[in-house]
Structures are given as structure tokens and as C-alpha cells.
Amino acid sequence: MTSPFDRPRRILVTGATGLVGAQLLLDLAAMLAASGASAEVVGTSRGGSKDGAVIAWDMTESAPPALDGPWDVIVNNAADVRWTMTPEEATFANVRTLDGLVSLAAPDTHVIQVSTAYATGRAAAVASDDRADYRNTYEWSKAAAERLATERFPHLTIVRPSLIMGRRTDGHAERFAGLYVLLRGVASSTIPAVPAARGAYVDVIPVDDLTRVLADLALAPTPPPAGEPTVFTVACGPEAPRVEEVVPRMIDALNAWRVERDLEPFGQPKLIEPDAWDRFFLAFAREHLSPRQQRALDLLRAYEPYLQITEPRPATHVVRDVIPAVELAARAWADRFPRLAAMPLRPWKARADTQESFA
Amino acid sequence: MTDDPFATAARVGNDGAASIANRVDEVIRSICPIDPPPITEDLFLIGDLGFDSLGLLELVSALEVEFALEEVPEEEALEIETVGDLHRLLEGSTTA
């Protein structure tokens, strides 16, 4: 097969040791090999990789000579995805890093900014700089990054994925964030209950469903026209599973892993309506639970908004049938962290058995 | 580094600070959210080793299981920032 490009194109992937970036490098390599096209694909991350294949670069500092531009395509995956960052941390990690890309881009470089489906916050737009319009500083900073990228890069595509878990094929993930907190919390007996709205959508996609979209964009023969960015949202949208299905299936998958090792299964965490959570459960918790259990509940507050979304995400690329991938992701997490997955049951000192539950 | 985090704890001895530190480091490695660098006492658990606040709770819970301890007092758990802090905490808890 002949190369679809006039010359080997240069593709830079930031955040290349992260969940999305690492998978994207694999997908690009596979697609290039299959097509016979030639391209220089270089990955960077803040710490680089131990084998040197991914170049270390703190994007708030000058790029090393190995990254000299111009690049035909830059896929910016670099991000700190914690939902608990201070505004300063979020700005530094998710907005200031764009500055580092300016010197590497030519006027016709196609920049693909990986954002989040939740960057539109509560106001369904990224225009606001008011933190109150977003669920957390992560969303707020990703909206700011979209605005800045729009100013800086004329040929811009913004890709907004929903929550991301491991690969559809085998559950593998380079990093475990977002919904994995439920597995972690159940395994370490720090989550007795989950505040979730009845029927809430849990819009979670396998990472390889996202990276195929990114790879197609990166390998497109021409950049998008200059002007307003093209925005893609990769999400389940109306096909998203509901919280009543996702949480039990994740824990069932974890428990299947445990039973195979003669370990007692964990109980399912109670799903408690937000109103009952605030009015009854927290009051109960403050009175009866240990300081650590209470601290875990405080930390979990960052995750609450994502289990209370009862309107589907609008999606341009609809991802379907994710429950099997969620189960594989849970097993892959257990394989990666057997010590946590095999933790003994440590009963709560007081459980929420009498609280409202729709599990 | 072993592939079996449970085997290591059994292999290392139960006496001496070095042994305790080794066991602590093995627990850290086994649940570290990133591919960890060589574990040294000055490394920050959040920042250098990729733990988040919830991850620190998990780490303390895992150490309680590893060393068969009752729940570490919250005020002591909140003081933990570095690998060295964990070494000192566990050395104190297991020799008290």
C-alpha cells in the first residue's frame, strides 16, 4: 500500500505515559503499520518513560531539542485529571502547559486538544471563567484550556471524552482514575455507600474507543480548515448505562476475581439519593463513623456530581455497549493491584443498612 | 521486585527497622498508582509517587493489614507525607 502522505508526517503526542496517550501511541503504531504509511510519532510526558521511548518534558518549560518543531500534528493529552486540585494546581497543569506547544506548532499544524465532555460544566458552555459554573477545578481548567487553544492554534480540533476506563479488548489501563475510585474504596473498606441519583447516567467509555477517534484525526491527510475549532464529543450519550447497573457490575467483577482466589466477596455499596445523603446519611456518619471513614466520605464528595447526572451527554461519536468493558476494567484493576483487590473485609463500625437505598 | 506482593512480606524478617522499611516499601510499590522510581525516604507519596488523598487512606489500610495493626490514629495518618514518615510510623507502631 502506498503512503497517503506526501512525506513522512511528524506527530507529537503529549501525556504519552498516561491513560489516553499510551494507548494512542499503540493505536498509531498499529494503524501506520497496517496502512504502510510512514510517520515520525514522538511521545512526551513530564517524567518520560524508563526506557526513554517517551521523552521527558515539563511543558511549562522550554522543549528539549529532540522536540524541535514544526510538527504536522500535535495531540495534547497532557493533563492532571484530579478533581480535587486547587485552582492554581489546575491552571498550572492543564492551561499553562499549552504555552509549551506554541513554539512547536507551525501555522498549519493540526492541534488536537483532548478535553473532557464535562468541560462545559453546569452552564453547558466553556465560555465562563467562573468556577461556580463547573463541578470542580478540573472542568474549569479544561474549559480554560479549550479557550486558550482556540486563541493560539488556528487548525484546532477539540475532542471531549466522557469518563474513561480501560481498553474494551482486555480492560488494560496505564492509569486508574475516575470511576476506579469505587473499586478502590470498596476494596479498602473506605466506601460504605455511594451518593447517586436514581437513574443517573454513568457515561464511561473504553480508552481504545477514544484513541481510535484520535488516531483517525491524527492520520487524516489534511488539517481542518482554519477558524473555529471542530468539536467532537466521544461519549455514550443516551446509550450510557445507569448507575444502578454500573456499580453492581463493577463490584461483581471484582468479587468474581476474589472468589477465584478463595477470598470472601465484598458487599455492594449502598446507593443513596443525594438528598437523603445530605440530610440523613452524613449526619449519621458524623455521629457514628471513625475519623478515617469520615475523611473518606469527605474525599468522595469530589465524585458525587458525576453520579447525579440525569441528562445524557450530547455526543458526536456515540459509544455503545460499555458494560462488558467496565467489567473487564474492574478485573484488570484487580490484576494490577492484587494487594488492594485482595484486602480482607473490614466491616464499618456502623453501617448504613437502615438508610434509604435503591440498590 | 517480585510479582507476588504477598510473598515478599513473608520472606523479609519481622525484626528490625530495615525489615520494617522493606515491607513498607513493598506495600508502597504494590499499590503505587504509577510505575514507581526506586523508593527512598525523601519521596513524597503525593507528588513523587502519584498517590492522591484517597490513595493515602488505601495505603494506610494496606499497611494495617500487612502489619496486623489496629486502625492507625487519624491524627498520625494525616501527618504522613513522605516514605520516611511511613517508615517511622510503622517502626513506632510495631515496636510500641
Model pLDDT for residues A21-39, shown as the tens digit of each residue? 999 999 999 999 999 988 9
How does pLDDT run across A127-153, given as a tens digit for each residue?
999 999 999 999 999 999 999 999 999
The string of pLDDT tens digits covering residues B29-67 is: 999 988 888 999 999 999 899 898 888 988 998 999 999
Residue A288 has pLDDT above 70, yes or no: yes
Taking an 8 Å cut-off on Cβ atoms, the answer to whether B54 and A338 are in contact is no
Residues of A with CB under 8 A from a CB of B: 50, 82, 84, 175-176, 181, 184-185, 187-190, 290-292, 295-296, 299-300, 337-340, 342-344, 346
pLDDT at residue A262 tops 90: yes
Closest residue on chain A to B68 (Cα):
A344
Q: Which of B31, B35, B74 lies at the smallest CB-CB distance from A340? A: B31
With CA atoms as reference, report the closest residue to A184 among A81, A357, A330, A305. A330
Task: Look at B5 and A339 and tell me if their CB atoms are within 8 Å.
Answer: yes
More confident residue, A185 or A321: A321
Query: So what's the pLDDT on residue A291?
Result: 80
Q: State the nearest Cα–Cα gap between A355 and chain B, in angstroms.
A: 24
Cβ–Cβ < 8 Å for A70, A30: no
Say what the pLDDT of residue A6 is. 61
Q: Is A77 exposed, middle or buried (0-12, 13-18, 19+ CB in 10 A)?
A: buried
Grid cell digits, residue A271: 446507593
- Looking at residue B5, its pLDDT comes to 44
Q: How confident is the model over A48-68, as a mean pLDDT?
A: 93
Q: Binning pLDDT at 50, 70 and 90, where does residue A348 land?
A: low
Q: Would you say A112 and A75 are in contact if contact means Cβ atoms under 8 Å apart? A: yes
What distances in angstroms separate CA A25 from CA A5, A41, A107, A168, A328, one per listed residue?
19, 8, 24, 16, 21
Question: What is the rounded average pLDDT for all residues in chain B?
Answer: 82
Total-model pTM? 0.88
Torsional sign, CA A211, A216, A43, A57: negative
C-alpha to C-alpha distance for A77 and A54, rounded to whole angstroms: 13
Q: Which residue from B34, B55, B65 is facing A343, i.e. has the nearest CB?
A: B65
